[in-house]
Amino acid sequence: MSSGVDAAVAAAELKRRLRRWRVGAVVLFGVAVAAVSAGSRQSGIWNHNSLMRPHLVKIRVNGVIGPDVSRWTKALAKAEKEVAVKGLILDIDSPGGSVTGGEELHDAIEHFSKLKPVVATMSGVGASAGYMIALPARRIYAERSTLTGSIGVIMESPDFSGLLGKIGVNVDELVSGPLKGQPSLVKPISPEGRIMLQGVVSNLFDQFVAMVVSGRHMPEEKVRSLADGRPYTGQQALSLGLIDALGSRDDAVDWLGKVSDLKGEPCVEAIGEAAQRFSFRRRLAGLFGGALMSWLGHDFAEILPQDPIRLDGAVSIWKP
């Protein structure tokens, strides 16, 4: 009798899960169609013919910048070759991230800017590597409350040697040289290792300073006086020469449209979006709320991408 009840309960649970999957599939399809439609309306581009007329392209850099920025650099390389593309809008809301990723994206934007005008607009945050990538722009906009600047480089390494010693775990390392194992998770940084690592950080910092000097046309002495790692509000950054104007994304688009000799409201195409680190899970939750995710069940939510970003080594990021 008990086994029969258990089987009936299991069958009912299976039907309930299948029903959730079916409903979830329908919802996901509808959201996907709506998102594509909304994205097309926002960019002002509906068909292939409209892409053939002069227009602007936009790259959105949102969140932490990882070491892999190829989704943006490839899109930029393609856009700079298209005759119909007249300029680039760099839309930033990022505290920074990987030094390598920031530099690679900076260089790609700089290459684009030598061929076509670029405007950068920063909303909530445009700091550290997020500020670095804005430097090649001909004009940088920010809101009064935008946090920007934070020019600098960080290298962190946790040391678990004290904890391991307390629980009686010893780790032996065999290295080819005294600096090969620096930094290490299982022993403190040696005095020689600290000097070596500080030299790496200082060199990366010098490269960052050189980008600011070149991009903002400022004396190196002034840049170094501002580059102690602190963030600035948009209003402060304007008075210090780190940005060009206070304004919104619309102000930036209007300025670039005029510079690019586009008549009327500029047509804008979003590029580099397909692989952008903006997970479908967050978009779905944003549209319908966390209640839908809970109702669909944890097993359904697990199939949606998480898009983790791993930051190793030196980073240029503002961390409140």
- DSSP structural state of residue 218: -
Tell me what the mean pLDDT of segment 202-213 comes to.
97
Q: Is the pLDDT of residue 136 over 60?
A: yes
What SS3 class is residue 53? coil
Find out whether the peptide bond into 183 is cis, omega within 30 degrees of 0. yes
Phi/psi of residue 271, each to 5°? -125, 160
Under DSSP, the state recorded for 190 is P
Residue 34 has pLDDT above 60, yes or no: no
Please count the other Cβ atoms lying within 10 Å of the Cβ belonging to residue 74: 14
* Amino acid 231: pLDDT: 96
Name residue 58's beta-bridge partners.
Answer: 89, 270
- Structural tokens at position 144: 């009064």
285: which residues sit within 8 A by CB, 6+ positions away? 292, 293
Predicted confidence at residue 290, as pLDDT, reads 47
The lowest-confidence range among 133-147, 197-211, 260-274, 284-298 is: 284-298
**More confident position, 299 or 7:** 7
> Which has the closest alpha carbon to 208: 150, 263, 158?
150
Name, in order, each residue with C-beta under 8 angstroms of 6's C-beta and a sequence gap of 6 or more: none
Rounded to an integer, the average pLDDT of 223-246 is 97
Query: At residue 83, does pLDDT exceed 70?
Result: yes
Angstrom distance (rounded) from CA 217 to CA 135: 10
Q: What is the CATH number of domain 2-152+229-317?
A: 3.90.226.10
Question: By percentage, how much of the chain surpasses pLDDT 90?
Answer: 53
Angle (nearest 5°) at CA 156 between 153 and 160: 175
The model's pLDDT over 156-169, given as tens digits with 9 standing for 90+, comes to: 777 776 776 778 77
CA distance 135 to 157: 29
Quick one: pLDDT at residue 178?
A: 80
pLDDT confidence band for 47 (50 / 70 / 90): very low
Q: Which residues contact 149 (CB under 8 A, 6 or more apart)?
A: 127, 131, 226, 230, 231, 232, 237, 242
279 three-class SS? coil
Give the span between the Cα atoms of 154 and 124, in whole angstroms: 22
CB atoms within 10 A of CB 204: 21
Kindly report the average pLDDT of the chain as a whole number.
Answer: 80
Let me know if 112 is exposed, middle or buried by CB neighbors in 10 A (0-12, 13-18, 19+).
Answer: buried
pLDDT for res 293: 44
How far apart are alpha carbons 198 and 193 in whole angstroms? 8
Q: How far is CA 114 from CA 74, 79, 136, 138, 261, in A?
A: 17, 13, 9, 10, 17
Which stretch, 14-23, 107-116, 305-314, has highest mean pLDDT?
A: 107-116
Span 295-316, pLDDT tens digits? 444 444 334 444 566 665 677 7
pLDDT at 190: 85
What percent of the chain stands above pLDDT 70?
A: 70
What pLDDT sits at residue 143? 97
What pLDDT was estimated at residue 14? 66
Burial degree of 28 (CB within 10 A; 0-12, 13-18, 19+): middle
The half-sphere exposure of 191 on its side-chain side, counting CA atoms within 13 A, is 0
Q: Angle between the 99-113 and 191-216 helix axes, to the nearest 10 degrees?
A: 20
pTM for this prediction: 0.73
Confidence at residue 277, expressed as pLDDT on a 0 to 100 scale:
43
Residues with active-site annotation? 128, 180
Q: What is the pLDDT of residue 297?
A: 45
Which residue type occupies 210? A
Q: Is the pLDDT of residue 113 over 80?
A: yes
pLDDT beyond 90 at 225: yes
Q: How far apart are CA 275 and CA 282, in angstroms?
A: 14
- Confidence (pLDDT) at 163: 73
- In the chain, where the domains are located: 2-152+229-317, 157-217
Whether 80 shows a pLDDT value over 50: the answer reads yes
Cβ burial, residue 215 (10 Å; 0-12/13-18/19+)? buried
pLDDT, residue 316, reads 76
Q: How confident is the model at residue 45 (pLDDT cuts 50, 70, 90)?
A: very low
Find the mean pLDDT for residues 138-144: 98
Whether the predicted pLDDT of 238 surpasses 50: yes
For every residue of 249-270, which 3-state class applies, written as one string? HHHHHHHHHHHCCCCCCCCEEE
